[in-house]
Amino acid sequence: MGETVDHGALMDRVYRWQRRFGFYDSTRKYYLLARDPMIAGLQPPRDATVLEIGCGTGRNLVEAARKYPGARFHGVDISREMLSAASAAVARNSLVGRVRLAWADAAGFDPVRTFGHESYDRIFISYAVSMIPQWRAVMCDAARHLAPGGELHIADFGDMADLPAWSKTAMYKWLHWYHVTPRRDLFEAATEIASELGGTSDHRRLHRGFSWIAVIKRP
């Protein structure tokens, strides 16, 4: 519990001012480059229920709700500061009836207790596994919350293997300042989790390895 409280407090300190006045979303669009390709790949069935773990300012939920008007959306975040921004974004875009938000620690999230919902057709995690200490456990739990035929989509920073050495070094140092640690074994973890479910996984390397997308598909 102490770790949960500490991590939530850390995220509030990091984003308390960044989330205001649209600063976070206006700057992140220049390097959170896999968000929109991930959303485009969700393709939820009609009347699907979709969950975002680590919903931040609600930017992705708003974009996904616009793109898939037949689906319903839930979002959780450990930062109350970010949830405040997300609530405002949902209201501003007249999506209160289709998007529900709640405070939750991704490492101990219970969808039944939080939303009264047992499983999801799609779950996505956008640039959050690189900030969650227990990221593998979170991915495992998320995969277990998938409905039959459901999919878990994860977008994050990659290994940047094809970038010039100087830019890779500078980027990793900059990310470290914001408590972000790219998971170089993300694809391996996704493959293992999919195998445990009897499912499959797909991997995409974008922007010379700067961006990664992993998809776990439950049979």
Mean pLDDT of the chain: 89
> Above 70 in pLDDT, residue 168?
yes
pLDDT of residue 178: 80
Rounded alpha-carbon distances, angstroms, from residue 161 to 31, 138, 143, 196, 208? 16, 26, 28, 28, 7
What is the phi/psi pair of residue 174, to 5°? -65, -40
The model's confidence at residue 7, banded by pLDDT at 50, 70 and 90, is low
**119: which 2 tokens?**
């499983």
pLDDT in tens, 22-57: 445 555 565 689 999 999 999 999 999 999 999 999
Percentages of the chain per state (helix, strand, coil), in multiples of 5 = 45, 20, 30
The model's confidence at residue 177, banded by pLDDT at 50, 70 and 90, is confident
Q: Are 56 and 78 in contact (CB under 8 A)?
A: no
Mean per-residue pLDDT, 4-24: 49
Least confident span in 3-12, 81-90, 201-210:
3-12
> Could you tell me which residue, 5 or 175, shows the higher pLDDT?
175
**pTM, rounded to two decimals:** 0.88
pLDDT of residue 27: 52
% of the chain beyond a pLDDT of 70? 86
DSSP output for 41-87: HH-PPTT-EEEEES-TTSHHHHHHHHH-TT-EEEEEES-HHHHHHHH
Burial 23-37 (b: 16+ CB within 10 A, else e): ebbeebeeebbbbbe
> Above 70 in pLDDT, residue 138?
yes
pLDDT in tens, 60-94: 999 999 999 999 999 999 988 889 999 999 999 99
> Above 60 in pLDDT, residue 8?
no
> Above 90 in pLDDT, residue 13?
no
Mean per-residue pLDDT, 185-199: 98
Most confident of 80-84, 106-110, 137-141, 169-173: 137-141
